[in-house]
Every structure is written in C-alpha cells, then in structure tokens.
Structure 1
Amino acid sequence: MGLAQPRLAAQAEQVSDLDRQAAVQLGVVSRAQALAAGMTADALRWLLRTGRWQRVHAGVYATFTGPLQFEARVWAAILRAGTGAVACHRTAAYLDGLCDDPGPVIHVTVPAGRYVEAGIDGVRVHLSRRLALTRHPVKTPPRTRVEATVLDLVDAAPNPGEAEGWVTAACQRRLTTPRRLALALRQRKRIRRRSMVEAMLSDVADGAQSALELHHLRRVERAHGLPAGCRQRRVEGRRVTWVDVDYSEYQVRVELDGRVGHTGEGRFRDRRRDNRATVDGHVTLRYGHADVFGDPCGVATEQARVLSARGWTGTIRTCRPGCPAAIQDRPGSLA
C-alpha cells in the first residue's frame, strides 16, 4: 500500500495534455477529460482525497485549492452541462461587458434534444435549436454571440423597461449595432415584444419619423380620445428645435425618445431644450419605447391629467374593455 501512493502521485503529475487543457479552462477539468488524458480513476480519487483537487460539480473538478473566480465557475457549469454547452443570458452578458453584475445563477445553453440532469447547483440550463448559429465561434469560455445574448435577455425580461434597457445598453457600450441586432431579430422566429424591439431598431435608422411616434399617435392619442397634437413642430429661437408632439393650446409638449444609445451631447441638448420650454411656460413629458409599447393606457392617463390641469375640457375614453385609463379629480388636478 505504501508503494501505491507514490505511483499515484507520479501518474497525476505526468498528464501534460490535461495540464494544457486545464490552463485553457482556468484550472477546471471534467472527469472524462482526465481519463481521456491517461489518468486512472485511482489517481483521480487520490487527488481529491488528498485535497490537491476539489470537486465543483459531479464529474467536474478544480485542479487547485481555494475559491474559483467567476470565469472558472462558468467553465465548471459548461463542463457539467456537457458537449456543446455555452454560457448564455446574463452570464454571457457579464462576460462580454453588457452588464456589471453576473447575478446569482450561471446560465448555460445546450442543444435542444440533449438530456441534462436536473438540479445542477447554481446553474440554470436552457435549450436551443439554433445554438449552432448563435454560438460565438472563438470566445472563451464558450458563449452566445452578443446579439443572441441581447435577444435572449429581451425574451426573458419581466417587463418592457428591462427589455428596452438590454437593447440600449448593448448599443451604448458599443458591443453591437442596431443593424446587427435587427438582422439577428429577423432570423429569430419566436420572441416576446418583437414589435417593440423592431420599432426601437428601426427608429435608430429612420430618425424622428418613427414607429414609436406612430404608435403614440394610434395607441395613446387617438385610442384614448386625447386632443390632436402637432407632430414634428419646428420651434424658432436662438436655435431651431423640433418638438415631437406639441399641444400648443395647453402648452404641453411630448418628447418621444426613440434613439437607442442616446448619450453625451444629445442628452444635454434635450435637457437644455426642456429647460427653455419650462421657462417659456411649457411642460414637457418624455416617453420611451417601454412606456408607449408597454403601457399606452398609462401614458394616455398621465397626458390627460396634465392636459386637464392646463385647460383641456375633454374626457379621456377607454380604448378597450378593461382599459385602465382614467382621470382623477377632474378638472385640473394632478393629485
């Protein structure tokens, strides 16, 4: 028995192919990889028993002691999920710099039809029939392409605002472009909030005469019986500005922000415009895609209350059975 221990230690130290593989995988290897490299089951058990290696998941080991960094944990999840698995959703987003918090769970996707044992600790497994198209060809740890990651997150978002935020963040951080996202969206048959995302991406390309403004006209203003606003009104001053929707009789303006990734000088220009309007006695309401597409009745209710406070004597109407649009404390109260 005394001779067996040195033999096991010598064998464990001689597997150079496995060393190279572990270096790529940040020190994490699978049982199958270790055995394929020539390590015996006895040598593997000895490494674990003596604490030289540590078990991360069933059949997946870290070849070092101490805590695992995040990317090593991702590798461990991918190896546990099996052949073809890649990081996805928020995990892939964090790896690519799309978000600053990876969240408490590691997300991996495997090809549809693959069986993966349920209950991998700290890991959520997704299935995809398009993984061959959405997998990034070279990045490590393996992950989905940025465009696929964004659309996965949009599909899983609990509300329109969060969905809009993923698209905006991807463009603001210059990880992709609206054109590339639009192409990926066209190739994807099923996704929640498709119309909202299509509008966001087309608005970037087409400018002010946007799908967002059209949706506001139809689903907010006309559907709820609000007064007709003047669209794309040119306002003269020290600098010429354009107002998306102007209710001039009531000194109310609506700005529809359809520009994905709108930061920097454009943001300050909007603020200066809104401030000048306030000085001149106007009030400005500002909405994005998540508001107009996600809650058009809520937008209509808010606009109606502001318009009523400034002299509109009309009555908002419901756009459908169950529409929550209503004005409280009429007339003229915002309470």
Structure 2
Amino acid sequence: MDLDDLIAAQRGMVSRAQALAAGLTAARLRWLVESRRWRRVHAHTFATTTGPLTFEARVWAAILRVGHDAVASHRTAAVLDGLCDDAGPVIHVTAPAERHVRGKIDGVRVHYAHRLPLTRHPAASPPRTRLEETVLDLVDVASHPREAEGWVTAACQRRLTTPERLADALGRRKKIRWRPMTEAMLVDVAEGAQSPLELRHLRQVERAHGLPTSCRQRRVAGHRVIWIDVDYPEFAVRVELDGRVGHVGEGRFRDRRRDNRATVDGHATLRYGHADIFGNPCTVAAEHARVLRTRGWTGRPRSCGPSCPVPMIIKETGRQDAMPLS
C-alpha cells in the first residue's frame, strides 16, 4: 500500500515510521510539519489534514502512538461497534502485555492484555477488540453491578451478539470482575430479559416472591405485530416495563394503543418504570399477585426477606375482599 492509500485508510493519520518506510525523508517530514501542511497529534504521530479530527482519526492517532499490534478497546471499541453512543473524553487503547508505553499520552488511556492476539478483531478498521471481548472488558471495569448489566443487555438488545457467544468468551477468561453475576445474567438474557429493568423484574419481583413463570419479549401477531415485555398468558395478565427510550412522543402513543387493545381483548396490563422496579420491588410483586389471583392463580407469593411486606399485603387484601358490604 502506498503512502496516500495508507493515509486514507487511517483517516488522515500516519506515524513517523510509516512515512519513512514509504519513502519520505526525515527532512521532508520535518518540512511538512514546519510548513503546517501536517501537524503533530502525538509523539511521532501526525495528521495530514488541518481541520478538526474525526473520532476515528483520533482513534487511529492513539493506536499509532501506542504502537504495533495496539487496538482500540473498552468504551472506544464500544462506540466503533455501535454498542454505545458516548465515547467519553478518553480514547482507550490496549497493547500487548509485554510492551510498556513510556510517558503520558494526552487524551489516551493505555491498557495491557496477555491475550490480545486472541481477543483482537481479525479485520475491523480501526483495529479493535472483538465485540464480545469489548463487552467483557467493560464489565470488568464496571464500578457497579447495574453498569455491568447494562453493557451485557445493550449488546444483546442491539443484536450485536448473543448470550451464547458472550458466555463462550467469558469461559475463556481466567479472571474477570462480577463473574458469578455475569454468568447468571447471561442465562437470564437467553431467556428473554433484554434490559437491566427486565432483569431486575425477573429476579427481584418474579423469582424472589414466588410468582408464576412468565413469558418474556413475547411476539404477538395480529393486525399489527406487538411485543410484550412480560406476559402471563394463562391468566391474561401483561406487564410493560418502561425505560426512558422508546416511551416518549410517538412511543407513548404506541404504548397507549397497545394497552387499549389488550384491554379490549380481555387482558389486564400493569405498567412500571425504573423507580418502581428498583425502588419498590416488593410492592410491585404484591400488585402482580393481587391481579394474578383475581384471574385464576391459586398460588401464594412468598416473602423475599424479613422486612418484605408482600405476605401481609396479600393477607390484608384477602381480609378486605371477604368483608361483607354494608
């Protein structure tokens, strides 16, 4: 590849070593910089354009500065693969563990990995880690379990990978933070939970309180195809879990039409948001149990802990239902 093609492939970026290998002399390179036709971005790394650098150009500059075999990783790779939209203020690059990059690189954080030859994508440009490895890298550095959940569910919800592929990649890692939680979460995601909100409902509302097993992300075909977040078809009860995305503007009207259609068809629809599921899962479970019991469920919810109010709420509700009308 000649120098012009190389520069084009690297979004206008080139390293000193590449320029010299392509036939430029050191004097010519110095003149290009001094005449401001090129500009230094990092040590021995140059932009061949004078305008603002694009995100991919900044990524290439960081990779070239770190050196041979370096790849974009973590949040930077996540943006390149469409896993998230916010790149943050820092470009993340991973280098082979045997290399040590001297000095601080402005706007760049360097990570090191022993397994980099196995985890880098074989063909992506700019070079980066494989999608599954990127997700697990982000899980590993997550400061909170909910953040780790968010990366896994986002990757599956955006159809960038599958729980099975993530589980396979996880099995090849010797050390990773949040491993037990991530292993359990991948099983749950494989069963249909597609967001931290849905995972929280599955674990802390349904399972923790002994409610019936629901169908998740159920596709219902009719005049228009709809998706049900949580469905108890035996009892004609549906639960919609509303995150912020997709439930404003036109999304809100779609929700209303869906709920109205369900009511006409004889279904009861319960709707909850983050504050309900994360803040009051026991109260949500009690509401589920009340509606399910009025529609034929003969089971009884159980307490999830010493302070869980669910059994008492159900007991009081049953007592009120049994009171004669005055």
Q: Tell me if both proteins adopt one fold, taking TM over 0.5 as the criterion.
A: yes
Query: 1:21 Cα shift?
Result: 1.8
Which of residues 112, 119, 131 is equivalent to 2:97?
Answer: 112
Looking at structure 1, the residues matched to 113 and 280 of structure 2 have their Cα atoms a distance apart, in angstroms, of: 36
Tell me, yes or no, if the aligned pair for 1:96 and 1:146 is still in contact at 8 Å. yes
* Mapped partners of 1:172, 1:281: distance in 2: 26
Deviation (angstroms), 1:196: 2.6
- 2:73 matches 1:67: no
Aligned AA (1:109): T
SS at match of 1:117: coil
Q: Map Cα deviations across residues 233-280 of structure 1 (whole Å, 9 max, x no partner).
A: 9xxxxxxx9549x9xxxxxx99798xxxx999xx969x749x86xx99
Determine the C-alpha separation between the residues in 1 that align with 2:104 and 2:36.
Answer: 25
Which consecutive residues of structure 1, in runs of 5 or more, have no partner in the other structure? 1-15, 222-227, 234-240, 247-252, 308-315, 320-324
Q: Secondary structure at the match of 1:139?
A: coil
Report deviation, 1:172: 2.2
Q: CA deviation at 1:301?
A: 6.3
Larger radius of gyration: 1
CA distance in 2, matches of 1:139, 1:231: 41
* Corresponding residue for residue 151 of structure 1: 136
Aligned partner of 1:131 among 116, 121, 132: 116
The answer as to whether partners of 1:213 and 1:256 remain within 8 angstroms in 2 is no
**In 2, distance between residues paired with 1:170 and 1:138?**
20
Once the two structures are superposed, residues 276-323 of structure 1 have per-residue CA deviations (whole angstroms, 9 ceiling, x without a partner) of: 6xx999977678xxx7xxx8xx7666669989xxxxxxxx8967xxxx
Preserved contact between residue 167 and residue 186 of structure 2 (Cα < 8 Å) = yes
CA distance in 1, matches of 2:24, 2:240: 63
Q: How does 1:24-103 map to 2 (within 5 A)?
A: 24-103=9-88
User: What residue is the counterpart of 2:187 in the other structure?
Assistant: 202
* 1:161 shift after superposition: 2.4
- Give secondary structure in 1 for the equivalent of 2:31: helix
Q: 1:21 — aligned with what? A: 6
Post-superposition offset of 1:207: 6.1
CA RMSD of superposed structures (Å) = 4.6
Residues 105 and 146 of structure 1, relative CA distance in 2, 3 Å threshold? same
Q: In structure 2, the residue corresponding to 1:181 is in which secondary structure?
A: helix
| Displacement after TM superposition at 1:72 (Å) | 0.9
Alpha-carbon distance in 2 for matches of 1:22, 1:285: 52
Aligned to 2:196: none
Task: Give the drift of 1:36.
Answer: 2.0
Per-residue deviation, 1:37: 2.2
Identify unmatched segments of 5+ residues in structure 2.
194-198, 216-229, 289-302, 317-326
- CA distance in structure 2 between the partners assigned to 1:64 and 1:229 by the alignment: 62
Residue identity in the other structure for 2:170: L
Instruction: Give 1:166-181 correspondences, 5 Å limit.
Output: 166-181=151-166
Q: How many residues align?
A: 273
Determine what percentage of the aligned residue pairs are the same residue: 56
